[in-house]
């Protein structure tokens, strides 16, 4: 399973310029933080931002002897930067992206804004099926609404053992906020389990076909066009 979060960003420079800037902060032996670029194309940078984190631990034995040791671990942000929407993609995000985003701000001379994308899940479903000759079966929908008269925020999840696509259409027509869907997607003789949220977060389960993530990325580019 891979967890993905997509963002939109207004890069002030080309990917080549950003690559050159990021490369000056390369992670190496002795570094506390830095970048490793794994793949570069004219319109895309794929890499990792690594933070070395040291935590001092103190233990006491049953006879009162004090031992101190340092525990080291590495927090890694797997990222893709692109000049096409969505411009930023994060895989299996750690708890905080603050240091990583601060670095991107620095390399962009503090001229960028990074914001979560907004997905119309009903329209995305129709576009994805049409453009990829795929079959999507939706078995769970989370919706919300605000009752202004009673000042009540309503949130509910609808589950079914059949395709809920018609329900999705109904909720769209009645102007509910469709916040999350869970679906099974059949594409290229593969089955993929997808949890997709309106704010651009996704959990994707697939077997031996990671390149299908590019299909999802392309679908969001078309959706956001």
Q: How many domains does the chain have?
A: 2
Q: Cα–Cα distance between 182 and 204 in angstroms, integer?
A: 10
Do 10 and 108 lie in a common domain?
Answer: yes
Do 32 and 110 lie in a common domain?
Answer: yes
Q: What is the pLDDT of residues 73-113, one digit of tens each?
A: 999 999 999 999 999 999 999 989 999 999 999 999 999 99
Note down the domain range covering 175.
121-224
pLDDT of residue 24: 95
Do 188 and 202 lie in a common domain?
Answer: yes
pLDDT of residue 223: 75
Do 125 and 102 lie in a common domain?
Answer: no
Give this prediction's pTM: 0.87
Do 102 and 194 lie in a common domain?
Answer: no
Do 110 and 159 lie in a common domain?
Answer: no
Last residue of a domain, one of 84, 116, 148: 116
pLDDT of residue 6: 96
| Residues of the chain predicted below pLDDT 50 | none
Do 135 and 219 lie in a common domain?
Answer: yes
pLDDT of residue 225: 56
- Listed residue (158, 196, 165, 35) closest to 106, CA to CA: 35
Last residue of a domain, one of 63, 85, 116: 116
* Residue-by-residue DSSP string for the chain: -EEEEEEEE--SS-HHHHHHHHHTTB--TT-SEEEEEEEEETTEEEEEEEEEEEEEEEEE-TT--EEEEEEEEEEEEEEEEESSSS-EEEES--S--HHHHHHHHHHTTT---EEE----HHHHHHHHHHHHT-EEEEEEEEEEEEETTTTEEEEEEEE-SS--HHHHHHHHHTT-EEEEEEEEEEETTEEEEEEEETTSEEEEE-SS-TTHHHHHHHHHHHHH-
Parallel, antiparallel or unpaired: strands 88-91 and 66-82: antiparallel
Do 103 and 43 lie in a common domain?
Answer: yes
Do 158 and 198 lie in a common domain?
Answer: yes
pLDDT of residue 206: 78
pLDDT of residue 146: 66
Last residue of a domain, one of 96, 116, 136: 116
């Amino acid at each position: 399973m891979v967890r993905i979060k997509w963002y939109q960003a207004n890069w002030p420079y080309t990917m080549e310029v950003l690559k050159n800037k990021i490369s000056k902060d390369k992670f190496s032996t002795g570094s506390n933080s830095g970048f490793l670029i794994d793949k570069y194309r004219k319109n895309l940078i794929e890499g990792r931002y690594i933070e070395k984190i040291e935590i001092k631990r103190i233990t006491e034995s049953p006879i009162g002897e004090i031992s101190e040791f340092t525990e080291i671990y590495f927090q890694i942000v797997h990222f893709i930067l692109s000049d096409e929407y969505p411009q930023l993609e994060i895989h299996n995000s750690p708890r905080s992206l603050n240091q990583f985003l601060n670095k991107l701000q620095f390399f962009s001379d503090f001229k960028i804004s990074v914001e979560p994308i907004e997905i119309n899940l009903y329209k995305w479903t129709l576009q994805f099926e049409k453009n990829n000759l795929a079959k999507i079966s939706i078995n769970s929908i989370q919706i919300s609404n605000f009752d202004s008269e009673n000042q009540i925020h309503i949130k509910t999840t609808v589950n079914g053992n059949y395709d809920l696509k018609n329900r999705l259409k109904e909720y769209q027509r009645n102007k509910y906020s469709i916040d999350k869907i869970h679906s099974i997607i059949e594409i290229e003789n593969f089955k993929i389990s997808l949890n997709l949220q309106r704010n651009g977060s996704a959990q994707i389960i697939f077997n031996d076909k990671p390149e299908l993530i590019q299909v999802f990325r392309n679908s969001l580019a078309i959706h956001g066009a």
